[in-house]
Structure 1
Amino acid sequence: MGRHRKQPEPVFRRGSVIALAGLVPAGVVTVSTASASELNTGEFTALSAAKHEAGTQQAQAAAAATVSDETMHMAKHSGPPVVESVALPQNRAEAQAPAGPLGMPGVAYAAYQNAEKILAQEQPDCHMPWSMLAGIGQIESHQAYGKLDADGNPLEPIYGPVLDGSLYGNNVVPETDGGALDGMTSYARAVGPMQFLPETYRKYAGDGRGIGVSDPQNIYDASLTAGKYLCEGGLDMRDLSQQSRAIMRYNNSMAYVANVMAWETAYRTGVTPHAADLPTI
Protein backbone atom coordinates (compact mmCIF):
# COMPACT_ATOMS: atom_id res chain seq x y z
CA MET A 1 0.00 0.00 0.00
CA GLY A 2 1.42 3.37 -0.98
CA ARG A 3 -0.71 5.53 1.32
CA HIS A 4 -0.67 5.73 5.07
CA ARG A 5 -3.95 5.73 6.87
CA LYS A 6 -4.56 7.38 10.17
CA GLN A 7 -6.96 7.05 13.09
CA PRO A 8 -7.84 10.11 15.18
CA GLU A 9 -6.22 10.87 18.50
CA PRO A 10 -8.68 10.15 21.34
CA VAL A 11 -8.57 13.75 22.57
CA PHE A 12 -9.90 15.12 19.29
CA ARG A 13 -13.40 14.88 17.96
CA ARG A 14 -13.75 12.68 14.88
CA GLY A 15 -14.00 14.73 11.74
CA SER A 16 -11.93 17.63 13.08
CA VAL A 17 -9.19 19.32 11.11
CA ILE A 18 -6.42 20.39 13.47
CA ALA A 19 -3.21 22.36 13.05
CA LEU A 20 -0.33 20.53 14.71
CA ALA A 21 1.30 23.56 16.31
CA GLY A 22 4.82 22.83 17.38
CA LEU A 23 5.13 19.74 15.17
CA VAL A 24 5.75 21.52 11.88
CA PRO A 25 7.54 24.73 10.90
CA ALA A 26 5.61 27.96 10.74
CA GLY A 27 4.14 28.72 7.35
CA VAL A 28 3.31 25.09 6.58
CA VAL A 29 -0.22 23.72 6.18
CA THR A 30 -0.82 20.32 7.73
CA VAL A 31 -3.60 17.86 7.17
CA SER A 32 -5.50 16.39 10.08
CA THR A 33 -4.31 13.42 12.08
CA ALA A 34 -7.85 12.12 11.68
CA SER A 35 -8.63 9.55 9.03
CA ALA A 36 -8.99 11.27 5.68
CA SER A 37 -12.46 9.80 5.41
CA GLU A 38 -13.49 11.87 8.41
CA LEU A 39 -12.35 15.31 7.28
CA ASN A 40 -15.78 16.44 6.09
CA THR A 41 -17.40 18.03 9.11
CA GLY A 42 -20.86 19.44 9.44
CA GLU A 43 -19.25 22.87 9.73
CA PHE A 44 -17.56 22.49 6.36
CA THR A 45 -20.73 21.10 4.81
CA ALA A 46 -22.64 24.12 6.04
CA LEU A 47 -20.00 26.39 4.55
CA SER A 48 -20.24 24.59 1.23
CA ALA A 49 -24.01 24.82 1.34
CA ALA A 50 -23.82 28.55 1.93
CA LYS A 51 -21.56 28.95 -1.07
CA HIS A 52 -23.97 26.84 -3.08
CA GLU A 53 -26.93 28.97 -2.06
CA ALA A 54 -24.97 32.13 -2.90
CA GLY A 55 -24.74 31.14 -6.54
CA THR A 56 -22.95 27.87 -7.20
CA GLN A 57 -24.66 27.32 -10.51
CA GLN A 58 -23.49 30.66 -11.87
CA ALA A 59 -19.95 30.11 -10.59
CA GLN A 60 -19.84 26.61 -12.04
CA ALA A 61 -20.95 27.84 -15.45
CA ALA A 62 -18.35 30.60 -15.39
CA ALA A 63 -15.59 28.20 -14.38
CA ALA A 64 -16.56 25.71 -17.06
CA ALA A 65 -16.32 28.45 -19.64
CA THR A 66 -12.72 29.15 -18.63
CA VAL A 67 -11.61 25.53 -18.94
CA SER A 68 -11.12 24.87 -22.63
CA ASP A 69 -8.64 23.06 -24.82
CA GLU A 70 -6.60 26.24 -24.92
CA THR A 71 -6.17 26.34 -21.14
CA MET A 72 -5.53 22.65 -20.58
CA HIS A 73 -1.95 21.77 -19.66
CA MET A 74 -1.49 18.69 -21.82
CA ALA A 75 1.71 16.72 -21.23
CA LYS A 76 4.15 17.24 -24.08
CA HIS A 77 7.36 15.70 -22.76
CA SER A 78 8.31 12.14 -23.55
CA GLY A 79 9.62 9.90 -20.82
CA PRO A 80 9.08 10.20 -17.08
CA PRO A 81 9.13 13.68 -15.54
CA VAL A 82 11.67 14.92 -13.04
CA VAL A 83 10.06 14.64 -9.60
CA GLU A 84 10.80 17.53 -7.29
CA SER A 85 9.18 20.06 -4.99
CA VAL A 86 10.00 23.42 -6.50
CA ALA A 87 10.81 26.28 -4.12
CA LEU A 88 8.43 29.18 -4.75
CA PRO A 89 8.41 32.83 -3.67
CA GLN A 90 6.54 33.84 -0.56
CA ASN A 91 3.48 36.09 -0.67
CA ARG A 92 2.19 34.72 -3.95
CA ALA A 93 -1.31 35.87 -4.85
CA GLU A 94 -4.30 33.57 -4.65
CA ALA A 95 -5.77 32.70 -8.04
CA GLN A 96 -8.79 34.75 -9.09
CA ALA A 97 -10.32 32.14 -11.42
CA PRO A 98 -14.11 31.78 -11.09
CA ALA A 99 -15.10 29.11 -8.57
CA GLY A 100 -15.98 25.62 -9.71
CA PRO A 101 -18.78 23.33 -8.51
CA LEU A 102 -19.81 23.87 -4.88
CA GLY A 103 -17.33 26.72 -4.60
CA MET A 104 -14.15 24.71 -5.17
CA PRO A 105 -11.22 26.83 -6.38
CA GLY A 106 -11.40 27.32 -10.13
CA VAL A 107 -7.77 26.24 -10.47
CA ALA A 108 -8.56 22.93 -8.76
CA TYR A 109 -11.54 22.42 -11.07
CA ALA A 110 -9.31 23.05 -14.09
CA ALA A 111 -6.66 20.65 -12.74
CA TYR A 112 -9.15 17.80 -12.28
CA GLN A 113 -10.59 18.33 -15.75
CA ASN A 114 -7.07 18.45 -17.15
CA ALA A 115 -6.21 15.14 -15.50
CA GLU A 116 -9.40 13.58 -16.85
CA LYS A 117 -8.51 14.69 -20.36
CA ILE A 118 -4.93 13.39 -20.21
CA LEU A 119 -6.04 10.06 -18.74
CA ALA A 120 -8.71 9.72 -21.43
CA GLN A 121 -5.85 9.75 -23.95
CA GLU A 122 -3.29 7.74 -22.02
CA GLN A 123 -5.56 5.23 -20.26
CA PRO A 124 -8.90 5.37 -22.09
CA ASP A 125 -10.20 2.13 -20.61
CA CYS A 126 -10.02 3.61 -17.11
CA HIS A 127 -12.81 6.17 -17.74
CA MET A 128 -11.58 8.38 -14.91
CA PRO A 129 -13.99 11.30 -14.27
CA TRP A 130 -12.74 14.62 -12.96
CA SER A 131 -15.36 14.42 -10.22
CA MET A 132 -13.76 11.37 -8.63
CA LEU A 133 -10.44 13.18 -8.40
CA ALA A 134 -12.32 16.11 -6.88
CA GLY A 135 -13.81 13.73 -4.29
CA ILE A 136 -10.31 12.57 -3.34
CA GLY A 137 -9.05 16.15 -3.23
CA GLN A 138 -11.93 17.23 -1.02
CA ILE A 139 -11.30 14.53 1.57
CA GLU A 140 -7.52 14.69 1.53
CA SER A 141 -7.07 18.47 1.76
CA HIS A 142 -10.37 20.29 1.18
CA GLN A 143 -9.06 21.21 -2.29
CA ALA A 144 -5.74 22.53 -0.95
CA TYR A 145 -7.73 24.37 1.70
CA GLY A 146 -9.02 26.64 -1.04
CA LYS A 147 -5.73 28.53 -1.36
CA LEU A 148 -3.96 28.02 -4.68
CA ASP A 149 -2.05 30.35 -6.94
CA ALA A 150 -2.79 30.67 -10.64
CA ASP A 151 -0.31 27.89 -11.49
CA GLY A 152 -1.96 25.39 -9.13
CA ASN A 153 0.52 25.63 -6.25
CA PRO A 154 -0.72 25.89 -2.66
CA LEU A 155 0.10 29.24 -1.10
CA GLU A 156 1.83 27.21 1.63
CA PRO A 157 3.16 23.64 1.25
CA ILE A 158 0.77 20.94 2.47
CA TYR A 159 2.12 18.12 4.63
CA GLY A 160 0.59 15.29 6.61
CA PRO A 161 1.69 14.38 10.13
CA VAL A 162 5.12 12.81 10.60
CA LEU A 163 4.70 9.03 10.55
CA ASP A 164 7.01 8.22 13.45
CA GLY A 165 4.46 6.40 15.60
CA SER A 166 4.07 9.29 18.05
CA LEU A 167 0.49 10.06 17.02
CA TYR A 168 -2.34 7.73 17.93
CA GLY A 169 -3.14 5.18 15.23
CA ASN A 170 -0.55 6.33 12.69
CA ASN A 171 1.71 3.89 10.90
CA VAL A 172 5.47 4.10 11.26
CA VAL A 173 6.91 4.84 7.83
CA PRO A 174 10.68 5.36 7.46
CA GLU A 175 11.90 8.11 5.16
CA THR A 176 12.68 6.86 1.64
CA ASP A 177 14.00 9.83 -0.32
CA GLY A 178 16.13 11.74 2.16
CA GLY A 179 13.48 14.37 2.63
CA ALA A 180 13.57 15.65 -0.94
CA LEU A 181 9.77 15.82 -1.14
CA ASP A 182 8.61 15.87 2.47
CA GLY A 183 11.49 17.65 4.20
CA MET A 184 12.06 14.75 6.60
CA THR A 185 15.23 12.77 7.27
CA SER A 186 14.07 9.90 9.51
CA TYR A 187 10.36 9.31 8.96
CA ALA A 188 8.07 10.04 6.05
CA ARG A 189 4.93 12.14 5.78
CA ALA A 190 2.39 12.59 3.02
CA VAL A 191 2.75 15.61 0.77
CA GLY A 192 0.59 17.88 -1.33
CA PRO A 193 -3.13 18.39 -1.87
CA MET A 194 -3.65 14.74 -2.86
CA GLN A 195 -1.54 13.45 0.07
CA PHE A 196 0.97 11.00 -1.38
CA LEU A 197 3.87 9.40 0.41
CA PRO A 198 7.07 10.34 -1.45
CA GLU A 199 7.85 6.80 -2.58
CA THR A 200 4.38 6.28 -4.05
CA TYR A 201 4.37 9.67 -5.72
CA ARG A 202 7.66 8.95 -7.46
CA LYS A 203 6.26 5.68 -8.82
CA TYR A 204 3.16 7.24 -10.40
CA ALA A 205 4.30 10.83 -10.94
CA GLY A 206 2.32 12.64 -13.60
CA ASP A 207 3.33 15.80 -15.45
CA GLY A 208 -0.01 17.59 -15.50
CA ARG A 209 1.49 20.84 -16.80
CA GLY A 210 3.55 19.43 -19.64
CA ILE A 211 6.81 20.96 -18.43
CA GLY A 212 8.83 17.82 -17.73
CA VAL A 213 8.55 18.27 -13.94
CA SER A 214 6.13 16.67 -11.49
CA ASP A 215 5.67 18.43 -8.15
CA PRO A 216 3.45 16.71 -5.54
CA GLN A 217 2.50 20.12 -4.14
CA ASN A 218 1.10 21.27 -7.50
CA ILE A 219 -2.54 20.33 -7.98
CA TYR A 220 -2.18 19.78 -11.74
CA ASP A 221 0.60 17.25 -11.20
CA ALA A 222 -0.88 15.73 -8.04
CA SER A 223 -4.35 15.18 -9.53
CA LEU A 224 -2.91 13.48 -12.62
CA THR A 225 -0.72 11.33 -10.38
CA ALA A 226 -3.78 10.38 -8.33
CA GLY A 227 -5.60 9.37 -11.49
CA LYS A 228 -2.69 7.21 -12.63
CA TYR A 229 -2.55 5.61 -9.19
CA LEU A 230 -6.27 4.83 -9.21
CA CYS A 231 -6.23 3.51 -12.79
CA GLU A 232 -3.24 1.22 -12.19
CA GLY A 233 -3.81 -2.40 -13.19
CA GLY A 234 -6.40 -1.68 -15.85
CA LEU A 235 -9.21 -0.75 -13.48
CA ASP A 236 -12.36 0.75 -14.99
CA MET A 237 -14.08 3.49 -13.00
CA ARG A 238 -17.40 2.70 -14.69
CA ASP A 239 -17.46 -0.61 -12.81
CA LEU A 240 -18.52 0.04 -9.22
CA SER A 241 -16.52 -2.84 -7.77
CA GLN A 242 -13.36 -1.77 -9.59
CA GLN A 243 -14.01 1.83 -8.62
CA SER A 244 -14.18 0.82 -4.96
CA ARG A 245 -10.96 -1.19 -5.28
CA ALA A 246 -9.24 1.84 -6.73
CA ILE A 247 -10.37 4.24 -4.00
CA MET A 248 -9.38 1.76 -1.30
CA ARG A 249 -5.79 2.18 -2.44
CA TYR A 250 -5.97 5.50 -0.63
CA ASN A 251 -7.66 4.08 2.45
CA ASN A 252 -8.65 0.44 2.91
CA SER A 253 -12.05 1.40 4.25
CA MET A 254 -15.53 1.24 2.75
CA ALA A 255 -16.42 4.32 4.81
CA TYR A 256 -13.67 6.19 2.99
CA VAL A 257 -15.00 4.91 -0.35
CA ALA A 258 -18.49 6.10 0.59
CA ASN A 259 -17.16 9.55 1.47
CA VAL A 260 -15.25 9.90 -1.77
CA MET A 261 -18.26 8.85 -3.81
CA ALA A 262 -20.59 11.14 -1.87
CA TRP A 263 -18.39 14.08 -2.83
CA GLU A 264 -17.94 12.75 -6.37
CA THR A 265 -21.71 12.80 -6.77
CA ALA A 266 -21.93 16.21 -5.13
CA TYR A 267 -19.44 17.82 -7.49
CA ARG A 268 -20.95 16.10 -10.51
CA THR A 269 -24.52 17.14 -9.68
CA GLY A 270 -23.91 20.41 -7.83
CA VAL A 271 -25.83 19.22 -4.76
CA THR A 272 -23.97 19.47 -1.44
CA PRO A 273 -24.10 16.22 0.58
CA HIS A 274 -25.63 16.25 4.03
CA ALA A 275 -23.36 15.52 6.97
CA ALA A 276 -25.46 12.43 7.69
CA ASP A 277 -24.51 11.05 4.29
CA LEU A 278 -20.79 11.16 5.10
CA PRO A 279 -19.99 8.08 7.18
CA THR A 280 -17.18 7.92 9.72
CA ILE A 281 -15.06 4.93 10.65
Structure 2
Amino acid sequence: MRKWLYSIALLGVMSVIIIVLLFEQNDRFRQGVYKTMIAENQIPEEYVPIYQEASDEYGIPWELLASVHRVETIFSTMDPLVSPVGALGHFQFMPRTWVGWTYPGVDDIGNIDEETDITDTFLIEEHQGYGTDAKGTGQADPFDLNDSAHAAARYLADHGATEGDFEQALFSYNKSEDYVEEVLNYYQTYIEQGYELISIPFQNHAE
Protein backbone atom coordinates (compact mmCIF):
# COMPACT_ATOMS: atom_id res chain seq x y z
CA MET A 1 0.00 0.00 0.00
CA ARG A 2 2.82 2.41 0.91
CA LYS A 3 4.59 1.69 -2.35
CA TRP A 4 1.38 2.43 -4.27
CA LEU A 5 0.89 5.77 -2.45
CA TYR A 6 4.53 6.68 -3.04
CA SER A 7 4.11 6.01 -6.77
CA ILE A 8 0.97 8.18 -6.91
CA ALA A 9 2.75 11.02 -5.06
CA LEU A 10 5.79 10.78 -7.35
CA LEU A 11 3.56 10.86 -10.41
CA GLY A 12 1.80 13.95 -9.05
CA VAL A 13 5.10 15.76 -8.43
CA MET A 14 6.36 14.88 -11.90
CA SER A 15 3.11 16.15 -13.45
CA VAL A 16 3.46 19.48 -11.64
CA ILE A 17 7.09 19.80 -12.78
CA ILE A 18 6.12 19.07 -16.39
CA ILE A 19 3.31 21.65 -16.29
CA VAL A 20 5.62 24.29 -14.79
CA LEU A 21 8.28 23.59 -17.42
CA LEU A 22 5.72 23.80 -20.20
CA PHE A 23 4.38 27.06 -18.78
CA GLU A 24 7.83 28.63 -18.53
CA GLN A 25 9.32 27.37 -21.79
CA ASN A 26 6.46 26.89 -24.23
CA ASP A 27 4.95 30.17 -25.43
CA ARG A 28 1.90 28.60 -27.05
CA PHE A 29 1.11 26.51 -23.98
CA ARG A 30 1.44 29.51 -21.67
CA GLN A 31 -0.75 31.69 -23.88
CA GLY A 32 -3.38 28.96 -24.02
CA VAL A 33 -3.35 28.75 -20.22
CA TYR A 34 -3.80 32.49 -19.84
CA LYS A 35 -6.54 32.64 -22.48
CA THR A 36 -8.46 29.95 -20.62
CA MET A 37 -7.62 31.24 -17.16
CA ILE A 38 -8.74 34.85 -17.70
CA ALA A 39 -12.53 34.93 -17.86
CA GLU A 40 -14.42 37.07 -20.37
CA ASN A 41 -15.35 39.69 -17.77
CA GLN A 42 -11.95 39.91 -16.07
CA ILE A 43 -9.43 42.76 -16.38
CA PRO A 44 -6.04 43.04 -14.64
CA GLU A 45 -6.46 45.69 -11.94
CA GLU A 46 -2.98 47.18 -12.39
CA TYR A 47 -3.75 48.12 -16.01
CA VAL A 48 -6.99 50.03 -15.45
CA PRO A 49 -5.33 53.36 -14.47
CA ILE A 50 -3.21 53.15 -17.64
CA TYR A 51 -6.28 52.53 -19.80
CA GLN A 52 -8.16 55.35 -18.11
CA GLU A 53 -5.34 57.86 -18.50
CA ALA A 54 -4.89 57.05 -22.19
CA SER A 55 -8.61 57.02 -22.84
CA ASP A 56 -9.17 60.35 -21.08
CA GLU A 57 -6.39 61.85 -23.17
CA TYR A 58 -7.96 60.80 -26.47
CA GLY A 59 -11.67 60.69 -25.68
CA ILE A 60 -12.49 57.01 -26.05
CA PRO A 61 -13.93 54.49 -23.55
CA TRP A 62 -11.22 52.85 -21.49
CA GLU A 63 -13.12 49.57 -21.71
CA LEU A 64 -12.58 49.60 -25.48
CA LEU A 65 -8.85 49.96 -24.94
CA ALA A 66 -8.92 47.11 -22.43
CA SER A 67 -10.76 44.96 -24.97
CA VAL A 68 -8.12 45.62 -27.62
CA HIS A 69 -5.37 44.77 -25.13
CA ARG A 70 -7.14 41.53 -24.25
CA VAL A 71 -7.42 40.42 -27.88
CA GLU A 72 -4.02 41.62 -29.08
CA THR A 73 -1.76 40.07 -26.41
CA ILE A 74 -4.11 38.54 -23.79
CA PHE A 75 -3.24 41.46 -21.47
CA SER A 76 0.48 41.27 -22.32
CA THR A 77 0.81 37.62 -21.37
CA MET A 78 1.98 36.81 -24.90
CA ASP A 79 5.70 36.09 -24.81
CA PRO A 80 7.50 37.42 -26.73
CA LEU A 81 5.43 40.51 -27.50
CA VAL A 82 6.23 40.10 -31.19
CA SER A 83 3.82 38.54 -33.67
CA PRO A 84 4.87 36.22 -36.51
CA VAL A 85 4.32 39.05 -39.02
CA GLY A 86 6.34 41.58 -37.02
CA ALA A 87 3.79 43.49 -34.93
CA LEU A 88 5.42 44.74 -31.73
CA GLY A 89 4.61 45.44 -28.12
CA HIS A 90 1.65 45.34 -25.79
CA PHE A 91 -0.83 46.60 -28.40
CA GLN A 92 0.86 45.04 -31.45
CA PHE A 93 1.83 47.90 -33.75
CA MET A 94 3.55 47.26 -37.05
CA PRO A 95 6.85 49.20 -37.01
CA ARG A 96 5.83 51.57 -39.83
CA THR A 97 2.53 52.38 -38.13
CA TRP A 98 4.55 53.21 -35.03
CA VAL A 99 7.19 55.29 -36.84
CA GLY A 100 5.05 56.53 -39.72
CA TRP A 101 4.27 55.19 -43.16
CA THR A 102 6.41 57.77 -44.95
CA TYR A 103 9.43 55.99 -43.47
CA PRO A 104 10.90 53.43 -45.93
CA GLY A 105 9.82 49.85 -45.35
CA VAL A 106 11.17 46.44 -46.25
CA ASP A 107 7.75 45.01 -47.19
CA ASP A 108 4.19 46.14 -47.76
CA ILE A 109 2.79 45.00 -44.40
CA GLY A 110 4.68 47.52 -42.29
CA ASN A 111 8.10 46.14 -41.36
CA ILE A 112 11.22 48.29 -41.50
CA ASP A 113 14.96 47.78 -41.23
CA GLU A 114 15.81 46.19 -37.88
CA GLU A 115 18.57 48.76 -37.32
CA THR A 116 16.03 51.61 -37.17
CA ASP A 117 15.49 53.06 -33.70
CA ILE A 118 11.70 53.01 -33.61
CA THR A 119 11.68 54.71 -30.18
CA ASP A 120 13.19 57.91 -31.66
CA THR A 121 10.53 60.56 -31.07
CA PHE A 122 12.09 62.92 -33.63
CA LEU A 123 11.88 60.20 -36.28
CA ILE A 124 8.27 59.48 -35.32
CA GLU A 125 7.34 63.17 -35.46
CA GLU A 126 9.02 63.54 -38.85
CA HIS A 127 7.08 60.63 -40.33
CA GLN A 128 3.84 61.28 -38.39
CA GLY A 129 3.71 57.85 -36.75
CA TYR A 130 1.57 56.76 -33.84
CA GLY A 131 4.45 56.02 -31.50
CA THR A 132 3.80 57.97 -28.29
CA ASP A 133 6.04 59.05 -25.43
CA ALA A 134 3.36 58.94 -22.75
CA LYS A 135 5.57 59.74 -19.75
CA GLY A 136 7.99 62.21 -21.30
CA THR A 137 11.01 59.91 -21.12
CA GLY A 138 12.33 61.01 -24.51
CA GLN A 139 11.48 57.65 -26.08
CA ALA A 140 8.33 56.15 -27.55
CA ASP A 141 8.59 52.42 -26.93
CA PRO A 142 5.93 49.91 -28.05
CA PHE A 143 7.25 47.58 -25.33
CA ASP A 144 6.38 50.14 -22.66
CA LEU A 145 2.75 49.62 -21.67
CA ASN A 146 2.03 53.31 -21.10
CA ASP A 147 3.45 54.33 -24.48
CA SER A 148 1.70 51.49 -26.27
CA ALA A 149 -1.68 52.13 -24.62
CA HIS A 150 -1.56 55.84 -25.44
CA ALA A 151 -0.60 55.07 -29.03
CA ALA A 152 -3.48 52.63 -29.37
CA ALA A 153 -5.95 55.10 -27.88
CA ARG A 154 -4.73 57.82 -30.26
CA TYR A 155 -5.00 55.50 -33.24
CA LEU A 156 -8.54 54.42 -32.36
CA ALA A 157 -9.57 58.01 -31.71
CA ASP A 158 -8.21 59.15 -35.10
CA HIS A 159 -10.08 56.37 -36.90
CA GLY A 160 -13.57 56.96 -35.56
CA ALA A 161 -13.73 55.84 -31.92
CA THR A 162 -14.25 59.37 -30.56
CA GLU A 163 -17.40 59.59 -32.70
CA GLY A 164 -18.58 56.21 -31.47
CA ASP A 165 -17.75 54.36 -34.69
CA PHE A 166 -15.94 51.55 -32.91
CA GLU A 167 -16.31 49.09 -35.78
CA GLN A 168 -14.53 51.40 -38.22
CA ALA A 169 -11.79 52.20 -35.71
CA LEU A 170 -11.17 48.54 -34.90
CA PHE A 171 -11.22 47.46 -38.54
CA SER A 172 -8.59 50.11 -39.29
CA TYR A 173 -6.54 48.77 -36.38
CA ASN A 174 -6.76 45.18 -37.61
CA LYS A 175 -8.46 44.53 -40.93
CA SER A 176 -10.39 41.46 -39.86
CA GLU A 177 -14.13 41.20 -39.25
CA ASP A 178 -13.47 38.38 -36.77
CA TYR A 179 -11.09 40.66 -34.88
CA VAL A 180 -13.65 43.46 -34.72
CA GLU A 181 -16.32 41.05 -33.48
CA GLU A 182 -14.05 39.58 -30.82
CA VAL A 183 -13.00 42.97 -29.44
CA LEU A 184 -16.58 44.25 -29.40
CA ASN A 185 -17.74 41.11 -27.60
CA TYR A 186 -15.34 41.84 -24.74
CA TYR A 187 -16.28 45.53 -24.77
CA GLN A 188 -19.98 44.75 -24.55
CA THR A 189 -19.34 42.27 -21.75
CA TYR A 190 -17.49 44.91 -19.71
CA ILE A 191 -20.14 47.55 -20.37
CA GLU A 192 -23.31 45.47 -20.08
CA GLN A 193 -22.37 42.79 -17.55
CA GLY A 194 -19.66 44.56 -15.59
CA TYR A 195 -16.10 43.43 -15.02
CA GLU A 196 -14.05 41.75 -12.33
CA LEU A 197 -10.60 43.11 -11.46
CA ILE A 198 -7.91 40.46 -11.08
CA SER A 199 -4.17 40.03 -10.65
CA ILE A 200 -2.31 37.96 -13.19
CA PRO A 201 0.30 35.58 -11.71
CA PHE A 202 3.75 35.28 -13.31
CA GLN A 203 3.19 38.57 -15.11
CA ASN A 204 6.49 40.13 -16.19
CA HIS A 205 5.57 42.41 -19.09
CA ALA A 206 3.93 45.50 -17.58
CA GLU A 207 6.29 48.47 -17.45
If the TM-score is normalised by the length of the shorter chain, which range does it land in? 0.5 to 0.7
Cα separation, 2, equivalents of 1:159 and 1:251: 15
Cα separation, 1, equivalents of 2:181 and 2:174: 11
Specify which of 25, 37, 42 is matched with residue 47 of structure 1: 37
Q: Judging changes above 3 Å, is the alpha-carbon distance between structure 1 residues 46 and 270 closer, same or farther for their aligned structure 2 residues?
A: farther
Q: Judging changes above 3 Å, is the alpha-carbon distance between structure 1 residues 30 and 206 closer, same or farther for their aligned structure 2 residues?
A: farther
Alignment check: 8 A CA contact 1:132 1:264 kept:
yes
Match of 2:38, SS state, is helix
- Corresponding residue of 1:80: none
Alignment check: 8 A CA contact 2:156 2:169 kept:
yes
- Corresponding residue of 2:70: 138
Report the number of matched residues.
142
How far the C-alpha of 1:106 sits from its partner, in A, is 2.8
How far the C-alpha of 1:206 sits from its partner, in A, is 1.5
Q: Which has the higher contact order (CA 8 A, sep 6+)?
A: 1
- Corresponding residue of 2:194: 270
Tell me, yes or no, if structure 1 residue 211 matches structure 2 residue 137: yes
Aligned pairs for 1:105-116 within 5 A: 105-116=44-55
How far the C-alpha of 1:31 sits from its partner, in A, is 8.1
How far the C-alpha of 1:129 sits from its partner, in A, is 0.9
Specify which of 139, 151, 158 is matched with residue 81 of structure 2: 158
Alignment check: 8 A CA contact 1:140 1:194 kept:
yes
Cα separation, 1, equivalents of 2:162 and 2:186: 15
Q: Judging changes above 3 Å, is the alpha-carbon distance between structure 1 residues 247 and 130 closer, same or farther for their aligned structure 2 residues?
A: same
Specify which of 53, 67, 91 is matched with residue 194 of structure 1: 91
How far the C-alpha of 1:266 sits from its partner, in A, is 2.5
Alignment check: 8 A CA contact 2:34 2:77 kept:
no
Alignment check: 8 A CA contact 1:141 1:194 kept:
yes
Deviations 1:196-218 (A, max 9, x none): 11111121112222333211011
Cα separation, 1, equivalents of 2:148 and 2:73: 12
Cα separation, 1, equivalents of 2:95 and 2:68: 18
Match of 1:111, SS state, is helix
How far the C-alpha of 1:253 sits from its partner, in A, is 2.4
User: Unaligned stretches of 5+ in structure 1?
Assistant: 1-26, 33-38, 53-100, 120-126, 147-155, 164-188, 273-281
Deviations 1:26-72 (A, max 9, x none): x999689xxxxxx9x7x7665234xx9xxxxxxxxxxxxxxxxxxxx
How far the C-alpha of 1:231 sits from its partner, in A, is 1.8
Bigger Rg over Cα: 2
- Corresponding residue of 2:154: 228
Cα separation, 2, equivalents of 1:226 and 1:47: 25
How far the C-alpha of 1:110 sits from its partner, in A, is 1.8
Q: Judging changes above 3 Å, is the alpha-carbon distance between structure 1 residues 197 and 191 closer, same or farther for their aligned structure 2 residues?
A: same
Match of 2:132, SS state, is coil
How far the C-alpha of 1:128 sits from its partner, in A, is 0.7
Match of 2:179, SS state, is helix
Q: Judging changes above 3 Å, is the alpha-carbon distance between structure 1 residues 132 and 226 closer, same or farther for their aligned structure 2 residues?
A: same
Alignment check: 8 A CA contact 2:35 2:74 kept:
no
Cα separation, 1, equivalents of 2:25 and 2:96: 21
TM value normalised by structure 2: 0.57
Partner amino acid for 1:270? G
How far the C-alpha of 1:254 sits from its partner, in A, is 2.3
Structure number with higher helix proportion? 2
Aligned pairs for 1:1-281 within 5 A: 47-49=37-39, 102=42, 104-119=43-58, 127-145=59-77, 157-161=80-84, 163=85, 189-202=86-99, 203-232=129-158, 235-239=160-164, 242-268=165-191, 269-271=193-195
User: Unaligned stretches of 5+ in structure 2?
Assistant: 1-23, 100-128, 197-207
How far the C-alpha of 1:118 sits from its partner, in A, is 1.8
